[in-house]
Structure 1
Amino acid sequence: MENSDTKGSFLDSVFIECDLHKLDIQHEWLFNFIFYKEWPIIDGMKANADGWRMMNQANVNILKERFPHINEKFNNINSFEELQSQRKVMHERVERDEEWLQAVNEIIEDSKIIFVYGFGHGISIADLLEQFPDRWIFIYEPDEALFYEVLCRYDISFLLEQTNLYWIAVGEDQLKVLFHLLSSYMQEKLAFIGLRGFLEDEMNALRDIRQEFINYNTDFHSNKFIENRFRNEWTQNYLYHLHESLTCQTIESMYNAFKGSTAIIVSSGPSLTEDIEWIRKIQDHALIIAAGSSVQALIKHQIRPHLCVIMDGHEVNNRIFSNGNALEAALLFTSSSYYEISERKKENKIYSIMDNDQVSQYFLRVDKRNVLMLPTPSVAGTAVQAAIFLGAAKVVFAGQDLSFPGQKVYSDGVDHFSEESKEKMLQKAVSQIENVQGGMNATDASFMSMKESIEALIKHNQQVQFYNSTRNGAVIEGAPFCPIEDIYEEIQGQVVEKDIVEQWMERNPIDINRDEIINLKSRLEHVQLDLSVLEKDIRNVRKMVDMIEGLSRTKPLKCHNVIFDIEEQWGKIVNREWFTPVFESLIPLELARFDQKLPSIVVEQDIISKAGYLREYLGQLLNELEEQLPHLEELLIESVKRVDNTLTLNNLA
């Protein structure tokens, strides 16, 4: 193979003797890899004359179909030279790496899901896809430049179209989506492996990613249980708040409205009792933001906060605001908050969609990337975010004990829980945590979770100064203890008017758009009408699901055909635009359980087992969906009524 004629005849003989469609994945990839290394143009498959500035068109076509997030990423590259400069050297064996594959086989065992750290040139990935056709493979390639070069230099479309290659994340910004998919689909086990090159050169990075996923997975399942616990309240609140969303200011519209200010986040902990008079003094110099029930303590001492924040969705929160004075201050309510509270307040309201609220995002056509408010275990976390969005340069915690100092539960004046409930809280406080005075306080798992979430917010917002003035509370990492009297001395030269929030809202009135309200009503009515169609679709699929187990034993070919019909009809159900946003809210655990079983259903080769899985797992989910339809219809009807009332009240009907 010394000259081009020799190379050409060699390749010609390969084309004559081999049907590429019959080549196994690894051999086909090797053929193309060598082929592109040696030849720029053969049989219409082209390497780029420009080096690697343009992706191979065959790759682009399959990326658009299967991995549009990668295609979009590389379409938005600003500088090819900068990307190329970041490219690391990746050595990958051209021959089949039997030693690595044997080690991988021992790790994978019976895991249905495989996480692979690294794509490289795709040679080892081809081996994996060939050796494990009955597993779902998820890949994280940290080297964006290397992956882009591979897409440009070689035609790997046949590799990308393999159905058991489920997802590829390229670059750190796509890692969270990969973690989400892994958490959704994995069952008891997940095989975590790395390409040989990464195992040899980047083992620490591999360990870090593995730990990052473990942490993400823990939070993912914890959040699913929380969503399930509050699913009825939250879904109701999401839908019943929709009409208000178009007639109120949003937290996004007030971004940096009070830039450079100091915000005092007032919570309901016992330490607030000792510092309440300092809150009175400091209210003329800082934004006082009441987090949920703390407004009761402030009212008792005739202190009016500048802003009250509510997030909790349970009806018990109605008791907190049963006193009319509790609604005097401007109110920031999230889409998850109990709907009756915001309805009672007629003006000076600020609305915020929660990041995990897919329902409101769908009906209001809000892009998730434009939603600011992240869910946290406590309303204090919501209040902290509000302060930062409003432009606070300094955030101070008051009454944020995150524990039970002196075996006390709440500050004086906070009385929405019974003595029996408080006693139960104290009984669960079996852990100890360091307090700001150097001693120890009793605490529980709930407070520890709140503490971690607040500390995460602090870490994520290092441009803001945080202080903890809670006199007897738990230590908060990132917020050093500073007595509130010292905070007062530092900021007493600043002036904050008592109605500063209302003044801003008066200067920036909301523009109520009739067309937006009409469109919202139309979307609600569309889903309401579609429920009857959905019910018929569910029953049709259930009929087929009920028959396949018997067919799998007597008429396997017919069973295959029925399963194909089931997949097609089920696709029509779940591909409704509104299906995922609504039912992820109504039945989060049920959908999560089905997602976990999906890999087993898809990769199962035995027709009897496959039919059994479908009947058990899909059949159960169909029942859950059908049970929710009457309740969902009631919620939608009521939501439409509220939208109609909004049109009437604003003379827009």
Structure 2
Amino acid sequence: MSELFLSNLNIIKQRWPKLATQLDQNSIENFSASLVTGNTQTISVNGIQLSSRHNRMAEAQLYIDQLDTNCNTVTLYGVGMGDVPSLLIDKSNLNIINVAPLNLSLFALLLTYTDQSEWLADSRVNLFIPSQYQLAENYIAITPDLALADEANSVLRDFLVLENNREFANNQHQVNDAKMIARHTQNMIALQRDPSAEQIVIAPYQKAASIIATGPTLESQYKILKKQRKLPIKIRPLMIAVDTALMALENEGIIPDIVVTIDKNITLKHLPENLSEKISLVYFPNTDPIVINQWGGKKYNAYTNRATFDDLHSRMPKIRLYTNGSVIHPAIDLAVQLGLTEINLYGCDFSYPHNKTHAFWKDGELGPSINYSNKHWVLDGNGNKVATDLNFRAYLRYLELYIKSKPQVQFYKSTKDGAKINGVAYRESVI
């Protein structure tokens, strides 16, 4: 231990003894760290600089300038080189400065090589372990710390990244988007003709649903699904598949009850040539009209919970289904709104287990490729890191928020491969 670490840790012991114990137990040996010099110096950790090497104070001020000038409480997620908290304690309008390290080992490394005593000793500073699902009202997220966040803070990391990208994401869903309006116009006859999805009739005693997505683990669950499908409708789970899973299921002789499609880019090439009349389709106004017209079975429609559908809903009311980027979301919400209280997830991986992006489909055919999945990760059911991408991380976290809002519903998975979904229990089989 360095003298600097002991000096910094002594302050933490006096003020936050439990956190000090955790820091004292963290090893910094797994990091590849080096000093980087420009106009100023910073530390590079695993190839990521903790701050600018040219003008650290100017960079820290840019972070602080994001804050509401009238706020008197601020939360700092990550520490960087300690420059931001060092400047924050100079602001007399701040009554509380919450600081949440996103990686305790990284924080221990910083304390080993730098003097952070001034801001650590400030009475307004509160060093704490953050909540994973609730962001502070006024906060600053230090970018390098997001990239270096540890497993314990991976959920919080994902929500912070989502917030950083919220404006960009919202710009992709403008109410006055000309292409979207044109697609809605194309589908107006179908929307008027076909009933809303809440009119789907399920068996009186049916309480469970199997939600089938296209994650790689689906390939290990075909046998379970085949057994389910052979059961009488009154006792088997209702099978709801996402659109891109249908080819895989048909290839295995599995016929779902319902297919949900939402992506405007899904075309007939993503679906089997001979669409079974036994399968009902739930579609949205953005759906390719050729897909709607060619579907052989019953057809129902729905809107998402986004504001882009508010005007259409006021003129032509339909069921509103939860969605935040993934077709898995409305498929699950459909089951819940139909009154089913047990949801079993298959192929809902939000990651690339088994070094694959999807079941059935070749790498890259649905967009993502395993060749570009080495930068981002989530934890699987065994606590191991598994490759993913930023979009899948977002879909996962929004599903977890949805699950938290439905305490009356039980959620299950039958494999620990793929992303761990908080709020979902594991069990071997539902048969």
After TM superposition, the score normalised by the length of structure 1 is 0.39
CA contact (8 A) 2:380 2:386 kept: yes
| Pair 274,217 (structure 1): closer, same or farther in 2 beyond 3 Å | closer
Q: Pick from 333, 357, 361: which aligns with 1:385?
A: 333
After TM superposition, list the pairs within 5 Å mapping 1:116-515 onto structure 2: 208-210=136-138, 218=164, 220-227=166-173, 231=177, 233-254=179-200, 261-283=207-229, 284=231, 285-314=236-265, 316-325=266-275, 328-345=278-295, 347-356=297-306, 358=308, 361-362=311-312, 365-366=315-316, 371-412=319-360, 414=361, 417-418=364-365, 423=369, 425-483=370-428, 485=429, 487-488=430-431
Q: Secondary structure at the match of 1:433?
A: strand
- The sequence identity of aligned pairs, in percent, is 18
CA contact (8 A) 1:239 1:360 kept: no
Task: Say which one has the larger Rg.
Answer: 1
| Pair 444,114 (structure 1): closer, same or farther in 2 beyond 3 Å | same
Post-superposition offset of 1:477: 0.4
| CA distance, structure 1, for counterparts of residue 301 and residue 72 of structure 2 | 42
Post-superposition offset of 1:443: 1.2
Gaps of 5+ in 2: 1-63, 74-134, 140-158
Give the aligned residue type for 1:373: L
Give the aligned residue type for 2:171: F
Post-superposition offset of 1:403: 1.0
CA contact (8 A) 1:258 1:392 kept: no
| CA distance, structure 1, for counterparts of residue 220 and residue 65 of structure 2 | 60
| Pair 114,462 (structure 1): closer, same or farther in 2 beyond 3 Å | same
Give the aligned residue type for 1:305: P
| Pair 363,210 (structure 1): closer, same or farther in 2 beyond 3 Å | same
Give the aligned residue type for 1:398: Y
| CA distance, structure 1, for counterparts of residue 205 and residue 289 of structure 2 | 30
Aligned residues: 283
CA contact (8 A) 2:175 2:308 kept: no
Q: What do residues 75-124 of structure 1 show as CA deviations (whole Å, max 9, x unaligned)?
A: xxxxxxxxxxxxxxxxxxxxxxxxxxxxxxxxx9999998999xxxxxxx
| Pair 361,415 (structure 1): closer, same or farther in 2 beyond 3 Å | farther
Give the aligned residue type for 2:239: I
| Pair 430,111 (structure 1): closer, same or farther in 2 beyond 3 Å | closer
CA contact (8 A) 1:397 1:468 kept: yes
| CA distance, structure 1, for counterparts of residue 215 and residue 303 of structure 2 | 27
Post-superposition offset of 1:261: 1.4
| CA distance, structure 2, for counterparts of residue 324 and residue 230 of structure 1 | 36
Post-superposition offset of 1:447: 1.1
Post-superposition offset of 1:243: 1.4
Give the aligned residue type for 1:304: I
| Pair 274,365 (structure 1): closer, same or farther in 2 beyond 3 Å | same
Post-superposition offset of 1:471: 4.7
RMSD after superposition: 3.7
CA contact (8 A) 1:271 1:471 kept: no
CA contact (8 A) 1:258 1:390 kept: no
Q: What do residues 16-43 of structure 1 show as CA deviations (whole Å, max 9, x unaligned)?
A: xxxxxxxxxxxxxxxxxxxxxxxxxxxx
| Pair 111,431 (structure 1): closer, same or farther in 2 beyond 3 Å | closer
Q: Secondary structure at the match of 2:189?
A: helix
After TM superposition, list the pairs within 5 Å mapping 1:603-642 onto structure 2: none
After TM superposition, list the pairs within 5 Å mapping 1:569-648 onto structure 2: none
Post-superposition offset of 1:480: 1.8
CA contact (8 A) 1:257 1:390 kept: no
| Pair 258,235 (structure 1): closer, same or farther in 2 beyond 3 Å | farther
| CA distance, structure 1, for counterparts of residue 339 and residue 400 of structure 2 | 19
Give the aligned residue type for 2:413: N
Q: Secondary structure at the match of 2:425?
A: coil
Post-superposition offset of 1:362: 3.6
Give the aligned residue type for 1:344: Q
Matched with 2:149 is none
| Pair 472,258 (structure 1): closer, same or farther in 2 beyond 3 Å | farther
Post-superposition offset of 1:217: 6.3
CA contact (8 A) 1:466 1:478 kept: yes
Give the aligned residue type for 1:325: L
Q: Secondary structure at the match of 1:295?
A: helix
| CA distance, structure 1, for counterparts of residue 287 and residue 381 of structure 2 | 32
Q: What do residues 395-441 of structure 1 show as CA deviations (whole Å, max 9, x unaligned)?
A: 011011111112111112x359539x554x53134123221234331
Greater percentage in helix: 1
Give the aligned residue type for 2:306: N
Gaps of 5+ in 1: 1-107, 118-206, 489-653
Give the aligned residue type for 1:449: A
| CA distance, structure 2, for counterparts of residue 349 and residue 473 of structure 1 | 32
Q: Secondary structure at the match of 2:354?
A: helix
Q: What do residues 188-232 of structure 1 show as CA deviations (whole Å, max 9, x unaligned)?
A: xxxxxxxxxxxxxxxxxxx95446xx9796575143233269955
| CA distance, structure 1, for counterparts of residue 205 and residue 363 of structure 2 | 34
Give the aligned residue type for 1:479: V
After TM superposition, the score normalised by the length of structure 2 is 0.57
| Pair 451,230 (structure 1): closer, same or farther in 2 beyond 3 Å | farther
